[in-house]
Amino acid sequence: MSATKSYRIASIPGDGIGPEVVSATIQVVEKLAKTLGTFDIEFDHIPWGTAYYKETGKYVSEDCLDTLRKYDAGLFGAVGAPDVPDHISLWGLLLALRGPLQLYANVRPVKTFPGTKCPLNTATKGIDWMLVRENSEGEYAGQGGRSHVGQPWEAATEVAIFTRHAIERIMRFAFETAQSRPRKLLTVVTKSNSMRNGLVLWDEIAASVAKDFPDVTWDKMLVDAMTVRMVGKPDSIDTIVGTNLHMDILSDLAAALAGSIGVAPSSNLDPTRKNPSLFEPVHGSAFDITGKGVANPVATFWSAAEMLIWLGEKDAAAKLMSCVENVCSAGILTPDLGGTSNTQGVVDAVCAEIEK
Amino acid sequence: MSATKSYRIASIPGDGIGPEVVSATIQVVEKLAKTLGTFDIEFDHIPWGTAYYKETGKYVSEDCLDTLRKYDAGLFGAVGAPDVPDHISLWGLLLALRGPLQLYANVRPVKTFPGTKCPLNTATKGIDWMLVRENSEGEYAGQGGRSHVGQPWEAATEVAIFTRHAIERIMRFAFETAQSRPRKLLTVVTKSNSMRNGLVLWDEIAASVAKDFPDVTWDKMLVDAMTVRMVGKPDSIDTIVGTNLHMDILSDLAAALAGSIGVAPSSNLDPTRKNPSLFEPVHGSAFDITGKGVANPVATFWSAAEMLIWLGEKDAAAKLMSCVENVCSAGILTPDLGGTSNTQGVVDAVCAEIEK
Ligand SMILES: CC(C)[C@H](C(=O)O)[C@@H](O)C(=O)O
Ligand SMILES: CC(C)[C@H](C(=O)O)[C@@H](O)C(=O)O
């Protein structure tokens, strides 16, 4: 076999355990590419993050969007450091890319993974959900301010912005996602009982986009009631779509209910493919375990598999995931999942599986 | 014994199963007052709700605030009807009272109640939390709008407003609540990594109010991570405080994790006692079971017990709750909890317990 395709990936390890899980993943993906021989893949190191910020005063380079546009995709680790306020680091790097690159679909598959246990006794078969998060606006529009700072009458605002354009494109994406899955089931999360503007618009667009997908069964659910359903009737759920903040919350909850946030992947997609999409573990920089070599690399492996699917390498992704699942099933797990392996131990085991 | 105190309560049954659970509760509380003989209590019926709206065009009377101010407290059922948009009914009644009456502390005790089962296998002793929700501003400020309605470039806003005054008073209330509980443990929920104005102010005020409560152990947690902790480490939690929307979501989740939202009570308090406080079950109007006589009255019983505590009748409240717990422990439960009793059956059993 000779390599037919070749991909260049921007590797942005970032902070905390980011470098550990990203380097683990690069080892595994390079082994996969070499073993399969069906594609070439190359990772370029991009040093953005808190160290870069301390040197340059910025989390990313001035030409960061152009830099990224040279790549087929990005693999991101984590951002955030104990000595920088979170809103500076996150808006400096992660949120500085999601919006400007119009990576409007944040996709988070959630399932009870080998090696994790669903903590719910209401889920008969474990959990297998697909979460779609609007990733470009809403509560993360980044607007608002503070007036009379420090005075007893100080007032601050957070302004959420919802546009028909952005809601329509994410709704369409969510219906397509639901349509592509066996159960063809979509729940649209809303809060239009208390949010009378943007969320009412959200509801209206759901109803109108739904007409184009007669084969998808859909319902609407208030975000608060949705948590009750996730806990009480997990089997009734398949694909979920919601706003930037609602799905931020529900996707963490979903990962916890499935068994562990330590394995949860996240894809920041530009479905128009004008810009490279970014793939990242849901977990953060986890400074408490940084440098100890015990970070769980599974979420980043899974993120890389999602990246391979996005690039068109479905078979390679399937192979990678089955190797990772075998290793986890065999109990080769990091301490967060109750195992005794370290990061490199998991990497070596997955590489060995790939070669089998 | 002769009655020493006398209370007048505004009964606002509202819509759906509201009238069923409120009338059940009035029977039980009247029986309690008569049996104990330590206080008098009188309920006046106030007809606000969807029927009233259909007759008058408004959910409440023009002079609703003055009307309520004549009472010592209000007992509220539910609002919302299938043929009126939720945002009209809820802002028409519930949200029209919480803000204007400055019922700024929404308090929701959550525990694994007799007759309910905690669905989590991570909670060794079931759940026993106290949730405090900012109830007067934030994401429920009610501001925002829609521009270019129906055009492809339509944009809508939802404007959350946070004031130092309102954050300070709820934070103080939450620290006092935590202080009054055996574990003296408070978690302040935030989202200041992505919300850079109001939520940063929220964090600053938490840190400053904390200084006045050196005996309270407190920490800060992002709302998304908090769901993970609630699922994974329920025993590490005692009192929680958060914004109007965050706690709307977390309180439903908490009730579901504890065992059932069907028993969850909610107090809308004005801690300055300038205005009467309002007590209500967390569940809504539940039109699917309305009129069938099977609504679970326990959340409203519990809400009435919270009302009695607020009025100063601690012993009566304790008596009421122990009777309700005995009835639930004996398996006299409505169908939502897996029982075969109807609403009146539960009422009769609790009344019989009270007389014992
Ligand atoms: C790190 C943070 C800004 C981010 C978010 O809130 O979106 C994270 O929680 C996530 O879910 O990707
Ligand atoms: C009915 C609705 C407006 C309300 C809210 O969102 O506050 C409810 O969910 C609650 O928790 O009291």
pLDDT (average), residues B241-246? 98
Taking alpha carbons only, the member of A254, A276, A255 closest to residue A267 is A276
Share of chain A above pLDDT 90, in %: 95
Same fold, A1-104+265-356 and A118-144+159-258: yes
**Known catalytic residue at B235:** no
- State pLDDT tens for residues A118-160: 898 877 778 999 999 999 999 999 999 999 999 999 999 999 9
What is the reported pLDDT for A4?
81
- Select from A85, A162, A228 the Cβ nearest to the Cβ of B156: A162
Average pLDDT, chain B: 96
> Could you give phi then psi for residue A97, rounded to 5 degrees?
-100, -40
Treating both helix axes as pointing N-terminal to C-terminal, what angle do A343-355 and A18-36 enclose, rounded to 10 degrees? 10
B240 exposure class (CB count in 10 Å sphere: 0-12, 13-18, 19+):
buried
pLDDT of residue B126: 83
Span from the CA of B66 to the centroid of ligand 1 (angstroms): 45
Residue of A nearest to B224 (CA): A249
DSSP conformation letters of B173-225: HHHHHHHTSTT-EEEEEE-TTT--SHHHHHHHHHHHHHTT-TTSEEEEEEHHH
The pLDDT of residue A256: 96
pLDDT above 70: residue A37: yes
Distance from CA of A329 to the nearest CA of B (A): 21
Amino acid in the structure at residue B349: A
- pLDDT, residue B2, reads 52
CA B295 to mean position of chain CA atoms: 18
Give the CA angle between residues A249, A111, A133 to the nearest 5°. Answer: 35
Buried b (16+ CB within 10 A) or exposed e, A181-193: eeebbbbbbbbbb
Per cent of chain B over pLDDT 90 is 95
Q: What is the pLDDT of residues A302-312, one digit of tens each?
A: 999 999 999 99
| pLDDT the model gives residue B122 | 77
pLDDT at A122: 77
Which residues touch B273 (CB under 8 Å, ≥6 apart)? none
pLDDT of res. A126: 83
Question: Distance from the CA of B199 to the center of ligand 1, in angstroms?
Answer: 15
Task: Write down the pLDDT at residue A125.
Answer: 79
Q: Select from B90, B135, B280 the residue to mutate for testing ligand 2; criterion: most ligand atoms less than 8 Å from CB.
A: B90
Range A30-34, long-range pairs (CB < 8 A, 24+ positions) = A31/A350, A31/A351, A31/A354, A31/A355, A32/A316, A32/A319, A32/A320, A32/A354, A33/A3, A33/A316
Q: Whose C-alpha lies nearest to ligand 2, atom 11?
A: B248
Model confidence at A285: pLDDT above 60 = yes
Average pLDDT over residues A69-87: 96
- Per-domain residue ranges for chain A? 1-104+265-356, 118-144+159-258
Of B153, B157, B163, nearest to A197 by CB-CB distance is: B157
**Could you give the C-alpha distances from B52 to B100, B116, B288, in angstroms and in order?**
20, 35, 21
B109 with B48: CB under 8 angstroms? no
Q: What percent of chain A has pLDDT over 70?
A: 99
> Could you tell me how many helices (H) and strands (E) chain A has, helices first?
12, 12
**pLDDT computed for residue B222 by the predictor:** 97
> Once rounded to an integer, what is the mean pLDDT over residues A328-340?
96
Residue of A nearest to B203 (CA): A85
Q: What is the mean pLDDT of residues A328-337?
A: 96
Torsion of CA A251, A209, A306, A43, to 10 degrees: -110
Q: What CATH number has the domain spanning A1-104+265-356? A: 3.40.718.10
pLDDT band at B3 (very low <50, low <70, confident <90, very high): low
Whether the pLDDT of residue A347 is over 90: the answer is: yes
- Determine the pLDDT at residue B234: 94
Q: Residue A3: its pLDDT value, please?
A: 53
As separate numbers, helices (DSSP H) first and strands (DSSP E) second, chain B gives: 12, 12
Pair of tokens at residue A115? 């090696």
* pLDDT at residue A24 is higher than 80: yes
Lowest mean pLDDT among A92-101, B173-182, B213-222, B285-294: A92-101
CATH number for domain B118-258, candidates 3.40.718.10, 2.40.30.10, 3.10.20.30, 3.40.50.920: 3.40.718.10
Instruction: Tell me what the mean pLDDT of segment A33-62 comes to.
Output: 97
Report the CATH number of the B1-103+267-356 domain: 3.40.718.10
pLDDT band at B123 (very low <50, low <70, confident <90, very high): confident
pLDDT at A170: 98
Contacts of A257 in chain B (CB under 8 A): 231
pLDDT beyond 90 at A1: no
* Rounded Cα distance, B257 and B114, in Å: 14
Of B120, B152, B193, the CB nearest to A164: B152
Tell me which of B40, B58, B184, B252 is the catalytic residue: B252
Residues B127, B116: Cα–Cα separation, whole Å: 11
Q: Is the CB of B225 under 6 A from ligand 1?
A: no
Per-residue pLDDT tens over the stretch B65-74: 999 999 999 9
Centroid of chain to Cα A63: 24
Would you report the helix, strand and coil content of chain A in percent, each value rounded to 5?
40, 25, 35
CATH class of A118-144+159-258: alpha beta
Instruction: Out of B15, B72, B248, B348, pick the active-site residue.
Output: B248
Please enumerate in sequence order all residues whose Cβ is within 8 A of that of A273, keeping only pairs 6 or more positions apart, or say none: none
